[in-house]
Amino acid sequence: MEHFTIATVAEQSADFRRVLWTGKFAQLVIMTIPPGGEIGEEVHDDTDQILTFTSGTGEAIVAGETRPVEPGVLVAVPAGTRHNFRNTGPNPLVLYTVYGPPEHAPDTVHATKAEGDAAEAAGEDEPPS
């Protein structure tokens, strides 16, 4: 059994992306978006995503609609939906997200967005088959 005090774990990580757990049908990932940063516009064709924010402030842009995010807010992004999340505050925007099915390789750690983008472009961040 994996057990996490998820808000605490998420807030202790300065990494842009860190996979905490990968199962057969879902994956748990924590993310820290620096002030002025963003996840980047993307679409997961075959993956649903649920994001829960633990600290900081920002905005969710999902299917062309923008809404504010803050601690305690949960955003569900259905597969095939264009989305992005931006940090609009002075502090890191911290969240945990559940992908179903997994979106990243198990044990993935990307210290920065640039590192994550490079790994994805090189095909080094593939989910398990």
Q: Determine the distance from the C-alpha atom of residue 90 to the mean position of all C-alpha atoms in its chain, rounded to a whole number.
A: 19
Q: Are 15 and 110 in contact (CB under 8 A)?
A: yes
Q: How confident is the model at residue 6 (pLDDT cuts 50, 70, 90)?
A: confident
pLDDT tens digits for 66-98? 999 999 999 999 999 999 999 999 999 999 999
Residue range 53-57: average pLDDT? 98
The answer to whether 19 and 29 have CB atoms below 8 angstroms apart is yes
Backbone dihedral region of 64: left (phi > 0), alpha (psi from -120 to 50 degrees) or beta?
left
Q: What is the mean pLDDT of residues 44-73?
A: 98
Query: Residue 34: helix, strand or coil by DSSP?
Result: coil
* pLDDT value of residue 91: 97
For residue 75, which of 7, 3, 83 has the smallest C-alpha distance? Answer: 83
pLDDT at 124: 80
pLDDT in tens, 11-32: 899 999 999 999 999 999 999 9
Domains of the chain: 6-121 (2.60.120.10)
Average pLDDT over residues 103-118: 90
> What pLDDT, on a 0 to 100 scale, did the predictor assign at position 48?
98
3-state secondary structure of 110: strand
- Rounded to 10 degrees, the C-alpha dihedral 35/40/44/48 comes to 20
Is 0.75 topped by the overall pTM? Answer: yes
Question: Could you tell me the end-to-end alpha-carbon distance of the chain, in angstroms, rounded to an integer?
Answer: 22
